Amino acid sequence: MQPHELITALASRRLVAIVRGSDPQAALDTVLALVRNGIDLVEVSLSGAHALDVIAKARAALGPEALLGAGTVLTADDARNAAEAGATYAVTPAVTEAVSASRSLGLPVLAGALTPTEVVGALREGATAVKLFPAGPGGAALLRALRAPFPLVPFVPVGGIDAAAAREYLAAGALAVGVGGPLVGRAADGDPTGLADRATAFRALAEEAS
C-alpha cells in the first residue's frame, strides 16, 4: 500500500476498527465479521494474543487487497514482523523507531502524537497521517487547536472514542477516527454479542460524515 492509498482509504471510510483480544480465533473471527459488515479498514493490535498469526490468517482469508494493518507497532522488529505477517500499514502509539522502520519496509504509518512537538516529529519521521493519541482527554477541542497550526495534517483521533465522540471529531476536521471497544466490544475475547449491530451503527455514522 502506498501512502496516498492509505489517505484515500481513511478519507472514504472515515473509520478504522481496532481489534485487540485475548482469544486469537475470536480476534480473527472479529476481523472477518467487521469486513462482512462493511467495516473493511481494520487494525489488529500487536498487544493482542498471537496478533501476528491473526494478521496472517486474516490476510489469507481476505486476500491481498484487504485494508489490514498492524497496531501498537513499537520497534523495528515489530514493523518487520507485521509486514511479514501481511499487514499493509502500521499504527504506532508514539513517535518511535517503528515509524521510520515501517516506511523503509514500504508500510504507510499512522504515527501516534499528542503535542505540537510530537506532530512535527511524526511528520519528520515520515508518518502518512497522525494518530492523535490518547485523544479522549483533550476531546474535539484538542483536535481543533492542533489543526490551527497544522491545517494540512491528516489527523486520526484514537482512544476513548464512542459514537458521540466520533461524530464530534469528524465534525471538527478529523480525516477518520479509530474505534476499539465501543465498536468491537468483547468480540475479540470470545463474546460477539451485538457486534453486527454496533458495526451497522458505526458504519452509518461514518457514511453520514463522508
* CA distance linking residue 98 with residue 109, whole number of Å: 9
For the chain, which domains are there?
3-209 (3.20.20.70)
**% of the chain exceeding 90 in pLDDT:** 99
Q: Which listed residue (57, 125, 131, 168) is catalytic?
A: 131
* Residue 123, pLDDT score: 97
Is 43 a residue of the active site?
yes
Residue 149, C-alpha cell as written in the block: 497550526
Helices and strands counted in the chain (H then E): 10, 8
The predicted-structure confidence for 151-167, as pLDDT tens digits, reads as follows 999 999 999 999 999 99
168 is catalytic: no
Q: How confident is the model at residue 210 (pLDDT cuts 50, 70, 90)?
A: confident
pLDDT over 70 percentage in the chain:
100
End-to-end CA distance of the chain: 22
Selecting among 43, 57, 125, 168, the annotated active-site residue is 43
8 A C-beta contact, residue 76 and residue 97: yes
CA 5 – CA 187 distance, rounded (Å): 29
In 3-state terms, what secondary structure has residue 93? coil
- Summarised one tens digit per residue, pLDDT across range 57-97 is 999 999 999 999 999 999 999 999 999 999 999 999 999 99
